[in-house]
Structure 1
Amino acid sequence: MHRLICFAILAAFAAVTSPSFAQEDGPPVGLCASDATSTDFYAAGWDYGTSNERFQSRTSINQGNVDQLAVKWAFRLEGGVSPHSHPLVSGDTVYIGTQAGQVHALDKETGCIRWTFQDPEMEEARTGIIVGTIASDDDDGEGDKATIFFGSTDGRMHALDAATGALIWVNYVGDHSMTMLTGTPTFHDGKIYVPISSTEVVYAMMPWYGCCSFRGNVVSLDAATGEILWRTHVIQEELVETGTHHLFVQTRGPSGAPIWSSPLVDPERGLIYVGTGENYSSPANGTSDSIIAMDMQTGEIRWVQQYLEGDAFNVACGMEDHGNCPEEDGPDFDFGAPPILTETIDGTPIMLAGQKSGGVYAMNPDTGERIWEEYIGRGGLIGGIHWGMAVNKKAGLLFVPVSDMLFPFNPAEGEPEPGLFALDIKTGKRLWQTNIEDACKGRELCNIGLSAGIVATEDLVFAGGLDARIRAYDPMTGDVLWTFDTLRDYDAVNGGVTSGGTIDTHGPVVAGDMLFVQSGYAHQILHGGNVLVAFQLKRDGQLTGDSE
């Protein structure tokens, strides 16, 4: 259940105990004079392509100048202290969603607002924002329109005109009352592949609720219209009644196996690949905690590689003698990080995946056959490996962020190894590791470890920490070359004062000479905040922001 508050009790605790921070609403200032015009995007979505390698080649930030990064501007994200959206960056615009049901288009250089889309029925723009082109009927293609897409907590997908923010279509894509969209969709060739998860894993804590009936699934949409082309449930066994508790509450299963992260698209093989989570109720089945390949055109499941059998868990398991806790009782070691398709140095295709157990795995993308596996640290409810790894294919390196957070209900045993690791793509051999030094120094709601997704460039790796610090690493040695503590107050370009906090979820974005970091995450008893921080390389001393 890695994208939700792990236990509702902890959510309430975090809301009560999270220290107050500056969050002064100001007047609507900083409006731009023009709409977005650039159709040159630094990434298509969560990944910089469709392979989930998280490698950015289009940047001028390198080892020689990374220490010249400084804050250019900061933008206050409305609606809460745990923003999930992931920025999308073009040549002139940054697109970002908020917990207030908004999507903003911001000028890349100044942070001023080009346009804002507000859906009064939308609770939160939760997924990362992706871009694709909707083809026009013009023979010359001049009418083709750059379109951005995103999903919300209420299970709806939206399509907006990237230039103006005008709504093109909106469509509910769930087939269960508790559908939630968290993983970032993937666009390819006029279609959108949407991973489906749910809140039922939390609702199971209600003693009168008969757990559970949701089944993780993927839907394929027509990008031009939002029409559902196919839906594939990863649990294909029939839902059956499995027992009762509290005299009359009926339990059901198998259920769960949500898909929390971005689908990997492989046009060469005609496949998409997803990672699944734990079952919500007994019996645990053969597609939870798995990597699954599906046909791009039909959704037909081609192969399944399960890495942990018998993992059934929901929030009721955090409560004493609760009838909705399945007999397996965890350990909740789902795949939160999306699978990666890359190559070894000698050109051999290989698929990589990281699990909350701390397991890192390599597979044959054609068959799912296991090639190697390596275990790092002890794993836990938020990792192990949580939101995403990165690859430098040319160097033959897989970079693995490890959380191993000390957690009150952590079912894992063993010594934690929070930090960044480099593995040989071909063999899985550990080449170096850099453990996170404890920089919390008594700071409340601070922890060590790397839970957020990371980004690699030619000679850097950027990783945001649970201690609110963004770090740049040498990819060959693991040396930390630059650090910035985002837990501070910022004068927001959209008015008022805002603050940073824990860095989690989708991770940083690198684009040209700029770095974008979303700071603040109050879930799992961590430090809330609500700021998007834009860093830029100093230009002849023009920047006045801080650097460390």
Structure 2
Amino acid sequence: MRRAPGWSVVLCAAVVLGSTASATASEDVGVGRGDWPSWQGDLAGSRFNEAEHRITPDTVGGLKLKWAFAYPKTGAWVKSQPAVVGDDVFFGGPDQQFYAVDARSGKLKWRFDLTSVAPGPMDDVAFNGATGPTVAEGKVFFGDNRGYAYALDQHTGKLIWAVDTEDHPRGWHTGSPLYYQGRIYLGASSAEHGGGPDYPCCTFRGHIDSLDAATGALMWRYYTVPEPQAVGTWPSGATRYEPSGAGVWGSPVIDEATGTLYVGTGQNYSGNGGDFDTLLALDALDGTLRWKQQVTDADSWRDLCNVPDSEGYCPGLKDNTALDFDLGAAPNLFPVQGRMLVGVGQKSGVYHAFDAQTGEVRWRRQLSVPAPLGGATGIQWGSSYDGQNLYVATYFAEPGTLNALDPATGEVVWTTPNPANGCDWGGAAAYPDQCVLAHTPAVTSSPGLVYEGSTDGKMRVYAASTGEVLWEYDTVRDFAGTNGLIGRGGSVSGNGGAVVANGTLYVQAGYFPMYPSGRGNVLLAFDVS
């Protein structure tokens, strides 16, 4: 049953399981230079670890499995990109648990049960747990796909606060939070696009929230669409509302010099209005709009657009505006000739670059061509910037490709397709109907290297200078977990990407398309020692 609507806060009320930490709640060891404390890696969204010096182009070929952490079988995708601070790794599982493990051994330090805050899922939507976390102020912050936001003590896992941010029955969090100057910034999307013909579509309004990091109190909220209004009925007789949707699927970034927050939005579920498919530039302090760039003229899409004979429920099929061309990826901030640019990938396959101060278009680059799969062919969760190139991957683009772009012009420096033999070897070879040559995860980089996983179950590391594959590892196999479970890898996880911190590469394996298995999925850690 869905919770009663309204803003509610739970403080220090949950049970902590398996805690072995000795530090007190008041201690904060801080974030080290080689750590990876947030989804973006830094405030600017670079997804680049400049301090990584152990995994290099000369040593990457020696990467070996260090440990595996296995999840129980749930049927849900593993989505929570880890955060790494010092000797601790923080992540959520698809089993409604949140974990802290030792970075050296993979052994459990503490575990927090999300159902201790609220027992069940939202109506008709699977509860598969936490987003990727961010670590700051001695706390671990994350959201879940019931619409809750959390702060746990970094050292003990004790609940500091939990906030129910959603009064909509299908609102949730898919993007990860960003911490900045005592605030948490977290977007909200929803599962409402999945409603069937009898569903009164749609009433969800996307939003980006600023929360007080100490208490979870709402400081400001920016809605992406006006309040949806009843405008008639669908063919089934269900009430029709519009405009709706424009969820915030990805994570935000912040320009520290100007205090500007940048975040992208998704498509309308019904109607045509509001800030859909838009890059927003907001004042981080008060949430006022500084500028916005809407990159699609019309885009109203929900799951019924993929169902035969759904024209009456998906008007965009008639005029080709059922596109699903979200800006679901996190933006990147990067300097060019003394000006800061903000770039973002779109599910249309276009990477857009704007002047960060004015919103003026600087360049655009088409990296994949939309096919019958629509937005699934384009750019998904995020890209990386290493001070020299932008690294951008495409998804179901037949095949997906990894691209290096010149940040000044958008010119393609190199492009490397998903290796053509990806479905011919390793565990994926036994499942030709599931295996696809596609890149779901956000891209990650460190000096000289680029990291990107595939739906063929392989994790790969590429040369930043040429795009050559330097190392690959098949995750579609069984792993003995440090927690006593046997897990199995699969498609390398979206909702994030690889994490590189303090000489170790971390990879979540188990995402769409799911490979048949009676086991749960795994978090894998590799190093060159």
Equivalences for 1:507-526 in 2 at 5 Å?
Answer: 507-521=497-511, 523-524=512-513
- Cα offset, 1:303, TM superposition: 1.4
Contact 1:102-1:124 at 8 Å conserved across structures: no
Report if aligned partners of 1:251, 1:324 keep a CA contact under 8 Å in 2.
Answer: no
Cα deviation, 1:153-210, whole Å, max 9, x if unaligned, reads 110011100000000011111232211111001110100011000111112x2x2211
User: Is the counterpart of residue 45 in structure 1 residue 38 in structure 2?
Assistant: yes
5+ residue gaps, structure 2 = 1-17, 120-126
Q: Which residue in 2 is equivalent to 1:21?
A: none
The CA deviation at 1:97 is 0.5
Structure 1 residue identity aligned to 2:285: Q
1:124 and 1:321 mapped to 2: Cα distance?
Answer: 31
Picking from 481, 485, 500, the partner of 1:496 is 485
2:405 to 423, 436, 456: 423
Kept after mapping to 2: 8 A contact 1:191/1:220: yes
What residue identity is the alignment partner of 2:43?
A: T
Q: 1:209 aligns with which of 182, 199, 202?
A: 199
Q: 1:298-334 CA deviation, whole Å, 9 max, x = no partner?
A: 2122211111111100012222344773312411111
Judged with a 3 Å threshold, the aligned counterparts in structure 2 of structure 1 residues 324 and 218 are, in CA distance, closer, same or farther, namely: farther
2:57–2:449 Cα contact (<8 Å) kept: yes
Structure 1 residues without counterparts, runs of 5 or longer: 1-30, 134-145, 406-415, 539-548
- The verdict on how the C-alpha distance between 1:532 and 1:463 changes in structure 2, with shifts beyond 3 A counting, is same
Deviation at 1:295, TM superposition (A): 1.4
Show the counterpart of 2:295.
307
Q: Which structure 2 residues correspond to residues 251-330 of structure 1 after superposition, within 5 A?
A: 251-282=240-271, 284-322=272-310, 325-329=313-317, 330=322
- Deviation, structure 1 residue 43: 2.3
Q: Which amino acid aligns with 1:368?
A: G
Letter in 2 for 1:371: R
- Could you tell me which residue of structure 2 aligns to residue 138 of structure 1? none
SS of 1:67's equivalent? Answer: helix
In the TM superposition, residue 525 of structure 1 has moved relative to its aligned partner by 5.8
CA contact (8 A) 1:313 1:325 kept: no
Q: Give the equivalent residue in structure 2 for 1:366.
A: 357
Deviation of the 1:248 alpha carbon: 3.3
What secondary structure sits across from 1:382 in the alignment?
Answer: helix
User: 2:459 touches 2:472 (CA, 8 Å); kept in 1?
Assistant: yes
User: Is residue 385 of structure 1 aligned with residue 379 of structure 2?
Assistant: yes
Is 1:182 aligned with 2:164? no
Q: Which residue of 1 aligns with 2:134?
A: 130
1:185-236 Cα distance to aligned partner (Å, 9 max, x none): 1110100011000111112x2x221111111101110010001111110113
The answer to whether structure 1 residue 91 and structure 2 residue 86 are counterparts is yes
* Residue 55 (str. 1) matches residue 48 (str. 2): yes
How many residues are treated as equivalent by the alignment?
479
Quote the offset at 1:245 in angstroms. Answer: 2.8
Q: 1:443 to 1:402 in 2, by over 3 A?
A: farther
Q: Deviations over 1:64-106 (max 9, x none)?
A: 1001110011001234451111101111111111122111110
Q: Distance in 1 between matches of 2:133 and 2:340?
A: 28
In structure 2, C-alpha distance between the alignment counterparts of 1:247 and 1:477, rounded to whole Å: 55
Q: Does the aligned pair in 1 maintain the 2:235–2:313 contact within 8 Å?
A: no
CA distance in 1, matches of 2:148, 2:477: 34
TM-score (norm 2): 0.87
**Distance of 2:200 and 2:312 partners within structure 1:** 7
Amino acid in the other structure paired with 1:312: S
Q: In 2, are the aligned partners of 1:501 and 1:527 still within 8 Å (CA)?
A: no
Return the letter of the residue paired with 1:170.
Answer: A
1:61 partner amino acid: I
C-alpha RMSD of the superposition: 2.0
Q: Secondary structure at the match of 1:400?
A: strand
**Residue 349 (structure 1) shift:** 1.0
Match of 1:348 in 2: 339
User: Aligned match of 2:435 in 446, 456, 473?
Assistant: 446
Partner-residue secondary structure (3-state), 1:353:
strand
Identify the residue that residue 3 of structure 1 maps to in structure 2. none
Other structure's SS at 1:467 match:
coil
2:297, 2:94 → 1: CA distance?
Answer: 35
Measured after TM superposition, the shift of residue 392 of structure 1 is 1.4
> Following TM superposition, by how much is the alpha carbon of 1:492 offset from its aligned partner in structure 2, in angstroms?
0.9
The Cα of 1:532 is off from its aligned counterpart by 0.3
What's the CA shift for 1:518? 0.4
Q: Which amino acid aligns with 1:82?
A: W
Deviation for aligned residue 1:243 = 2.2
What one-letter code is carried by the residue in structure 1 that aligns with 2:414? W
2:250 and 2:328 in contact (8 A); partners too: yes
